[in-house]
Chains A and B, each alone.
Chain A
């Protein structure tokens, strides 16, 4: 397979707070191919937004990307190497801040934020903001950018774009504002758009329209998307491949159908069971018990084990990485759960944990030596095949 549009390897982003280091993104790897929509799913606090902002090197203080490699169209957005003294330093081929700002942000990778109410500047006209970003990211004159802005507003389904161009954000409804933000992203003609929960703040009916719109436009322009959401329903509707995040890690990674029909991780299963589905009649929804622990003191072993219905003794000790557990077409189906054969750590012989899963946040690792990473087992050769 050729080099993907975006490749993220073992990305780690941490926040250095007074209370300690928050490992918001803790070693995630994924790829985005040209023209596909890749989902990044998880509960609030799983690190989805931080992960997506890391791709633009826009992590706010006191956060910092500390490790990993981000490659976009063969260019290095972030990478570290070991210096002569053994310390980590940025590699020489990493794009400078200025290059990231000029060449990547907006014109290569654009963003649609969650809150359309807050994302537009209240004191400038919608058209003016749109035009500013177009001028900045494409070589267009003032008038041409204006034309383009009006054209894009029409494209995203805003009626009377010429007239609405001169209106202010407060004169637009939430759904219309989200359309403006989509117009903004598309108008810069990027190859990748990060959509950070773009429909969460909207009504369900409007959400449907927006998803429809994005799907049409995606087909027309062939833009790739990273779709950040906590809503499995949206994922099913729009994504080609999905990464499920839990506490800063990707716990399952698969094409969308495989994820839904051959779920390999208990957390994904729990997520699916916790939402209403028209294709299954259930008496009651099953919420995931307990709260997601804080990324500042993740539980030892598997991070999900305190809430996992299938947790066994071994889950408290072994910290699984995401391994290929099945093959799904061209892509591996990865999961980070020791129940699979790819992990030869003795799950089957292990004693199930007593009683109900814990209802409170997980016990932080008191002694890190208790937690061991799963030993490398490579039974299938599909590990590195993309």
Chain B
């Protein structure tokens, strides 16, 4: 099977998973205690007739499986239902919020990879030297400190004390300079995007950075002890090339896996970071939806985040198959 066919195959495989996700989400939302209609009318006098009208309007009087089928029919057409609380289509609400979250998560990963890989290699080549010990301590702190706390500390130092960087919000490059009345040119827009992104990116990326750095170190140490490295040395390959090519390539395989699997942590972390930095992303929308018991919105966001995670894992698998020639694509040729 070629890589392309493998890709298609993996995406097809994801369909049952996604259906499973919708079923579980739907059941959890609908079987949870509390009646959304009564909640909506909370504080008002209970008018049984009104309740019935509303239930009929939203189809809540019909059996669960029928409601699920209706929901799925909408979902396939990209309709996540209607937010009762905000009186707007859930799809519209989410579309406005996906961009910031993706920007945040992807930049956090970029930050984590760009810092973790060189630091991990450095620690591996200077094993048990001071550099290695420092990196170990940094990684330990990074893994054990909650991201929101790092976020708050970054705001305190760089925004409040030093005043170097803004403490809230993001600037979205896809809106263009016209989208902001205080920004005029593209370079300015990019500059502002980066300025706003720096603190939340570091806050969210530190945990990933710490994890990846340790994995990179371990993998490089193992790879550098490989027979193929011994062979390369015996054939006079310069140490630089061994590090950059022979040992490095093999060491990157687990990194790809970890990046994919940690996507769930990163998406979860985004919820907190968006709250700390007042970013209007999916995470904050999620928190608000939960506080308001906006079931349709909660379901929509859960499904979207779960889908993102599934897609992330698939991309990881494909990347792995692309990088590691030993991975066989499914049931052979």
Contacts and interface: CB of A to CB of B under 8 A. Distances in A.
Interface of A: 56, 58, 101-102, 104-107, 110-111, 113, 115, 118-125, 132-133, 136-137, 168, 170, 181, 184, 188
B250 A56 contact: no
B235 A121 contact: no
B116 to A, nearest CB: 20
B249 A121 contact: yes
A275 B36 CA distance: 84
A234 B326 CA distance: 33
A56 B234 CA distance: 7
Contacts, number: 69
Interface of B: 226-228, 230-238, 246, 249-250, 253, 323-326
A124 B238 CA distance: 17
A120 B325 CA distance: 13
B236 A107 contact: yes
Q: Which of B227, B228, B234, B324 counts the most A-chain CB atoms under 10 A from its CB? A: B234
B233 A58 contact: yes
A136 B233 CA distance: 12
A125 B231 CA distance: 15
20 contacts: A58-B233, A101-B236, A101-B238, A105-B235, A105-B236, A110-B235, A111-B231, A111-B234, A111-B235, A113-B227, A113-B230, A119-B227, A119-B231, A120-B228, A122-B325, A122-B326, A123-B250, A137-B235, A170-B325, A170-B326
Given A123-B250, A132-B237, A184-B235, A115 B325 contact: no
Contact of B236 (A106, A118, A122, A184): A106
From B231, B237, B323, name the one whose CB has the most chain A CB atoms within 10 angstroms. Answer: B231
Nearest to A98: B238
Contacts of B226: 118, 121
A171 to B, nearest CB: 8
A58 B231 CA distance: 10
A139 to B, nearest CB: 14
Contacts of A102: 236
Nearest to A171: B325
A63 B234 CA distance: 16
Contact of A115 (B227, B232, B235): B227
Contact of A188 (B235, B246, B324, B325): B235
Contacts of B228: 118-122
A185 B326 CA distance: 25
Contacts of B234: 56, 58, 105-106, 110-111, 113
